[in-house]
Structure 1
Amino acid sequence: MIDFIRGTVVHWETEYIVLDVHDIGYRVFTPSPYFFQRSDEPVTVYTHHHVREDAIHLFGFATREEQRLFRKLLDVSGIGPRVALGILAGGRPETIVAAIQQENLGFLTKLPGIGKKTAQRMVLDLKDKLGSIGLPVETGLFAPIEEAAQDGTSAWSEAREALSALGYTPAELDRAWQGLKDTVTAGESVDSLMKRALQWLFKG
């Protein structure tokens, strides 16, 4: 089991990053590739080493919290690594956990790859098994989903700043926001917005 990798980010795509670890490049699939900016400074990526008959994959996360939630999601029937990765790309861990705790099927079914039956299984299988994942340290209590969810405009502000650092102009980003703003939901992650904005920009 590979629990974490420490190295420099030398390449990234919409679904993965490549880490240079002592002159070996590791492809790591992650819900937040744009969190790991290319840099000469080493970064730590918490990983899940997934082995099956026809493939060996590394899934990576910026925090232990994401790593733990990913592994819990894999315990739900019908959720494999790709779907679990999409769930984490679609919302922040504390928002996802709060939705499960509150049996908020409306929010869960908006996550990528999640239908009503899978959302119900998530609640049934995980509601009492998430421990402290997503809990505020100070209180040990879940915030209501409305409070835990990040406002779409706020998320876009962070996504816009990151996209600007990638070289996109203000005019291009304004057009992307006009095309996306009506579909942004509370709780959508910055990375999810970035992916959708990039898809929109590529089409444009």
Structure 2
Amino acid sequence: MYDYVKGQVTRITPEYIALEVQNIGYQLFTPNPYAFRVNEQIQLVYVHMHVREDAHTLYGFTSLEQRELFRKLIQVSGIGPKGALAILASGAPTHVIQAIEMEDEAFLVKFPGVGKKTARQMILDLKGKLGTLMDVVELPSTEDELPLFGMNPYGHELEEAMLALIALGYSEKELAKVKPQLEEDEALTTTDAYMKQALKVLLKMK
């Protein structure tokens, strides 16, 4: 029904953004709200409307590839819109696609809410069926590791959290003291989670 909308981002929350289009504010749930900025610039957001008997929900994405992968993920048994958002919030679309095509269950189970059964289902349902999404990735050889192996797979989310905390008034010197602790905490997988933990540590330091 909708492909994309253009408007001004007027509010950002940990779960959604508010996008104003012709004096109407649309609530768009998105993988990483902090990828957007509140300003007067007109921003293009790719959207997906999810219809249930009790709700019509809009989901927003920064790229077409992100939106199309979301649509593929919610077709997998055991993955709903919230689960698909969590996967997209924790990894780039290219890395998820690579893992599916290479049948790398060990990589897929790193995502929130994805166990071995769901990872296997993702591979069974989506391998070889991602269509044009395959155009945006270059599959590594079998001898290569996926790009995120050996490093923090949620580095982007951590950096987003650092930027958000700077915007709240914290200095880079203060954040440098807490960042190593955040990098070592494997339980943190989203920008919001990093921010909450950082605030806890910062308050203890005062």
Could you say which TM-score interval applies, normalised by the shorter chain? 0.7 to 0.9
Amino acid at match of 1:32: N
Give runs of aligned pairs for residues 132-143 of structure 1, distance below 5 A: 132-133=132-133, 135-136=135-136, 141-143=138-140
Higher relative contact order (CA 8 A, sep 6+): 1
- SS state at 1:173 partner: helix
Q: Report the equivalent of 2:29.
A: 29
Q: Give 1:146's aligned amino acid.
A: E
Structure 2: tracts of 5 or more residues without a match: 202-206
8 Å CA contact retained: 2:162, 2:195? no
Q: In structure 2, do the counterparts of structure 1 residues 26 and 158 end up closer, same or farther at CA, with 3 Å as the change threshold?
A: closer
- Contact (CA 8 Å) 1:76, 1:121: kept in 2 or not? yes
Question: Counterparts in 2 of 1:112-131, with a 5 A limit?
Answer: 112-131=112-131
* Aligned residue number for residue 78 of structure 1: 78
Matches within 5 A, 1:11-160: 11-133=11-133, 135-136=135-136, 141-143=138-140, 146-149=145-148, 151-152=151-152, 155=156, 156-157=158-159, 159-160=161-162
Taking structure 2 as the reference length, the TM-score comes to: 0.84
The size of the alignment, in residue pairs, is 196
Tell me the distance in 1 between the aligned counterparts of 2:61 and 2:123.
Answer: 23
Counterpart residue number, 2:193: 196
Question: How big is the alpha-carbon RMSD for the aligned residues of Structure 1 and Structure 2?
Answer: 2.5
Letter in 1 for 2:48: H
1:198 maps to a residue whose letter is M
Equivalent-residue separation in structure 1 for 2:87 and 2:103 (angstroms): 16
Using the alignment, how far apart are the partners of 1:158 and 1:125 within structure 2?
32
**Partners of 2:182 and 2:198 within 8 A in 1:** no
After TM superposition, give the deviation of residue 147 of structure 1 in Å: 4.8
Q: Structure 1 residues 51 and 158, CA, compared in 2 at 3 Å: closer, same or farther?
A: closer
Shift of residue 180, structure 1, vs aligned partner: 1.5
Highest CA radius of gyration, 1 or 2?
A: 2
Alignment equivalent of 1:177, drawn from 176, 179, 193? 179
CA distance in 1, matches of 2:140, 2:182: 27
TM-score calculated relative to the size of structure 1: 0.85
Deviation at 1:72, TM superposition (A): 0.4
TM-superposed deviation, 1:3: 1.6
For residue 39 of structure 1, give the secondary structure of its aligned residue in structure 2.
coil
Q: 5+ residue gaps in structure 1?
A: none
User: What letter is aligned with 2:147?
Assistant: A
Identity %: 42
Between 25-34 and 151-160, report the one with greater CA deviation: 151-160
Give me the whole-angstrom Cα distance separating, in 1, the residues matched to 2:50 and 2:70.
Answer: 12
